[in-house]
Each structure stands twice: as structure tokens, then as C-alpha cells.
Chains A and B, each alone.
Chain A
Amino acid sequence: MKAYLAIFRMRLKMETQYRGAVIGGVFCQMFFGLILVALYRALYAGRPQALPLSSVITYVWLQQAFFRMVLSSDGDLADKIRTGAIAYDLCRPLNLYGYYYLRAMAMKLMGSLLRAIPMLVLAILLPDGWGIAAPQSLPHLLAGLFGLLLGLLCVCALENITMAITMRTLDSRGMQAMLNLLMMILSGNILPLTLFPDSWQKVITLLPYAQLLDAPIRLYTGEWALSQFPRVLCIQGAWIVFLVALGLYFWRQNQKRIVLQGG
């Protein structure tokens, strides 16, 4: 257990080595957030929607704040697979699936917390009608946080599947670009899922990408009542079990047929 915790500590250290990247990320996400908020304000000024504007704005800010959590971007690991430096990881006395799962989790958690905290502070300080709104109630906040945690477990399982496939294709860029596009649409990063047509939402909200941020945010804003919470947990739980099982299967297959390039 200590070994796995150490991976978290290491990741935090690495993130703090590149403070510039964190600051840059915060500014970039703030910029996107402001543009999107301006866009929705304009949209609502012309034609108000059923969902209150403040909920949409809160949705945008939470999406932007935790963008790093859903973005699939472990360039380090992709490089290791490409160059074969992964050989070292393969000779550690650790469960490899667990090791990479926690590595992804540490990266997403540390990376997104370092950016989310300053961003949320900034988003709170913005003038009325531009900034993030408080959660519906304390239970809504807790439900949202718990949902976020399960969403994190989901996205790490997805990441591990991507990496297992990368170990065969050797290059992750194509797949990551495609998956990131899918993720940005299906997680509600580009257009909040709540603004999709109802018939679409029935399907989209069941997919794994919607479990990452969309479900927790809707619990936070109160768009979904607390009575919906068990349903959300079931969907998230089912995806976690399925994605982890699939990932484990892939890794086990890989371990049997692994090939390391050169040298």
C-alpha cells in the first residue's frame, strides 16, 4: 500500500516542478470558461432555456476546473511504451494494472486539484451572473463530490484500457486525439449535456464519459434531485466494474505477448 501511496507523492512533486504549466493551464481554462459563459449569456438573452442560466454557468466552470481530470494525456507513459523504457516498470514487484491505474489517478487528481482550486476561487470572485453558484445544499455538494470520485475511478479505468491498446499499436497519439474528441463531446465539455435534446440525453447520460463530470455536476447544481443519487451510483458502479474487468483482461493478455523493441 505504501508503494502505491508513494506514487501519489511522486506525482505531486512532479506537478510542482512545473508550476508554469499549472499557471498556464489555469489561465487557458479561465479564458475558455469566460468565452463559454459569454456565449451562454448571449444565447439566454435571445432565447431563455428551461434550465436556469446560473446552472449552465456553474456547469461550465466545473467542467473547465476539472478538465485535466478527463483529458487523456499521459505523454510520459506513451513515450515509455514507444521507447521501451517501460521495461523497468515491468520488472517491479507491483501489480502492473494497479500500478498504472494509480499512476493515472495520481496524475489526474494532482493535476486537476492544482488547477481546480485556484480556478474555482477565481470563478467565485467573478461578478454575479458570470461566476460559479453555490451548490443546491450541503447534501447535494457531498453527493456531487462522491460522484466525482466515482467518475475519477471510471476515467482511470478508461485510461488503462487506452494504454493497454497502446502497448499493441505503439503510438497513442491517434487514439488519444480521437478519444479526447469523443470525451469532450460526450462528457459535456463543449456543450453541456443538459442542453442536448432530451431523446439524446437518454442515451448519452448512460455512457461512461457522462459519469466523469456531467453526473456529479448535475447533482451539485441540483438539476438532479438527491433521489436520483442511487441511480447515478449504480450506473457509475456498473461502468467501473465493467471497465476495470475489461482493462484487467487486456493487461493480462498483453503480459503474455509483450515485445520490447530494440536493445
Chain B
Amino acid sequence: MSYIDVQNLSKSFTLRKKREKGKLLREKTEIQALKEISFSIGEGELVGYIGPNGAGKSTTVKILSGILTPDGGSARVGGLIPWKERKRHVQRIGVVFGQRSQLWWDVPIMDSFQLLRDIYRVPEDQYKKRLSNLTDALDLGAIMKTPLRQLSLGQKMRAELCGSLLHGPGLLFLDEPTIGLDAVSKLALRDFLKEENEKKGTTILLTTHDMEDIAALCSRVMVLGHGKKLFDGQLSHLLSRYDTVRVIEVRYGSGILPPLPDCCRMERNGENYRITYEPEKMPTAQLLSLLQGAGEIRELTAQPQNIDHMIAAMYKEMDL
């Protein structure tokens, strides 16, 4: 029995265009944000949910967190229909919208947490334990008494995450939680999410554009495009189909780069040459001997393809 069960979920929005000259009324267009998507997620899974901007990811999250009412289809989360049994449903979930804030702008974050404790009716002893765990894990101790408006983006995001987890939800929706974070904060956040998932068994649906997040956290991904589900399965399967090129960076001590066949793409960056090639067409050994014949190589690094490039190639092929 799966924890989240979505069947043929649809949602459309009406957009009003700017009024055209000579016409009395504005034209309306309907946009299908979700076109009959179905999926299920088991308890304790950590699933990545990706797709280009406007694909309908956030709409899905908003429906599953009981905010929006869908036009058609059904969804059950832990046996409840989110938009019908909203109050009971939201008591058990946590949501982080990366671009919005749930904490109060002008008071210390501690006060916001206390309000959330009261809103979710968390018993005092449980709250204390939970808060001290989260304070340690998210490194919030030093900023507990600081008003939200004085925090940096990374501190804010950690505080937001703490706010969403105070009531110990079994299910967590994360909508772009790492947006705008620096490398250190990002890594810390990932570690925390991984632990929350592995140790506490929290089910997590992670929406993001940061493919590093997905690669680090999720074994399963769902790809959404134009409101349709295009892929659902292992990240490695998805990538192997698009992982067709390799990159070699080379720097010469003496000599210059020889002319390369057409199937290789070359970019020059100062003294470094960056060569992108497809091993299918140009075997690596052949390329290397070509490079070596031209002079004395000082430095050479081989890199896998950037994951963002793979996703871009996938979106392109899927016509997104």
C-alpha cells in the first residue's frame, strides 16, 4: 500500500490576456497545468521531482498539500484526500516553499517556532526535544533570538526547514529548498535531509532545479513536462540514455592543439582547451594519442558530462 497515491490528477488555470485594440473583453486562455498525471510513492521514499519551469511541479505539491483543489482525478495521502480533509491532512505534513517564508518577518525566529508549536498543538516535552534536535542538526543555536529580517538567505532557509519539521511530519514536501544557497549551506542541508529520510523514515518529495541535489539525495526521480509525467524511475537509468559525451581539458607546455575531427567540439579558455566529444564516434584512446602527438602535455583532466547538460539534452529531446 503506497503512502501517496495519485490517479489522473488534472488542474487548469485561466489566464486573461491583455485586451486587444477594438475588442471589448479580454480574451481568456486556459492553461492545463496538470494533464492526468498518476504516480504513487511508498512510505519512507525520497523522490526527486524535476521538470522545466512551468511544468506543473509546484501545482502538484500545492494540490498534495491541500492548498489547491484539482479539476479532476483523485489523490490520497496516507488515506486522506488532501483538499477535502485538509485540517487532518496538513497536521501530518510539512511543506517548504523555497521562495516564500512562513516565519514572521519582524520577530525572533524562536517566537515564530513557538507560534507554530501552538498551531500544530505539539506537546511541550515533544517540542523541546524536537527543537533541540533540529537546532543542532541545522546549526540554529546562535540565531534563535534574531529576527528573521536580519538573517542571511542560508540561515533563513535553515530556519524555514526547522519550522516545517517542528511538528514531526511523516511527509515532507520541499519546493526548491536549496535555491540561492551557498555550497556549504547546500551540503549541510542535503546531509540533514538524507538523515531525516534514513533515520526517521520521513517520506520526502523534493522539487528542485538543482540536479546536484537530486543526484546526491534521490534514487528515484519523476520528470514532469507540460503537465505530463514523462519519466518515473531510477535516476541512473534516466541519465544513461543522455550520458553520451565526455569532456577532456588539456594544457600544453609546448606545442599547440592539433586540428580535431568535426565530431569534437573545442573551446579555448586561456591556455586550457576544453574538448567535448562522443566516445561512440571518437574513441578516447584515439583522441588521446592525437593530443599527445602534438606536443608536451602539462595537464590533462577527464570529466564526466555535467548533469545539467544531460537534463538539458533530455528536455530538448522530449520537446519541453
Q: Mark B63-82, 1 if CB is under 8 A from A, else 0.
A: 00111110000000000000
In the complex, chain B residues whose CB is within 8 Å of the CB of A14 = 104, 106-107
The answer to whether B99 and A263 touch across the interface, beta carbons within 8 angstroms, is yes
The answer to whether B95 and A88 touch across the interface, beta carbons within 8 angstroms, is yes
| Complex interface: stretch among B118-126, B151-159, B272-280 | B118-126
In the complex, chain A residues whose CB is within 8 Å of the CB of B105 = 76
The answer to whether A93 and B69 touch across the interface, beta carbons within 8 angstroms, is no
Chain A contact-residue range equals 20 to 34
B side interface size, CB within 8 A: 34
Minimum Cβ distance to chain A for residue B54 (Å): 10
Closest to B69 in A: A256
| Complex interface: stretch among A79-87, A175-183, A186-194, A239-247 | A79-87
In the complex, chain A residues whose CB is within 8 Å of the CB of B58 = 263
Q: Is B284 an interface residue (CB 8 A)?
A: no
A interface, over-half SS: helix
In the complex, chain A residues whose CB is within 8 Å of the CB of B118 = 2-3, 5-6
Closest to B98 in A: A263
The answer to whether A260 and B68 touch across the interface, beta carbons within 8 angstroms, is yes
The answer to whether A260 and B106 touch across the interface, beta carbons within 8 angstroms, is no
Q: Is B87 an interface residue (CB 8 A)?
A: yes
The answer to whether A10 and B62 touch across the interface, beta carbons within 8 angstroms, is no
The answer to whether A93 and B120 touch across the interface, beta carbons within 8 angstroms, is yes
The answer to whether B13 and A259 touch across the interface, beta carbons within 8 angstroms, is yes
Closest to B92 in A: A93
In the complex, chain A residues whose CB is within 8 Å of the CB of B93 = 91
Within 87-131 of A, Cβ neighbours of B (below 8 Å) are at 87-88, 90-95
Q: Is B38 an interface residue (CB 8 A)?
A: no
Q: A13-B111, A83-B100, A90-B67 are in contact. List 18 more A-B contacts (CB 8 A).
A: A2-B118, A2-B121, A7-B115, A10-B104, A76-B105, A85-B100, A85-B101, A85-B102, A87-B95, A90-B66, A91-B67, A91-B93, A92-B120, A93-B120, A257-B69, A258-B68, A263-B97, A263-B175
Which A positions have Cβ atoms within 8 angstroms of B?
A: 2-3, 5-7, 9-10, 13-14, 17-18, 76, 83-85, 87-88, 90-95, 255-260, 263
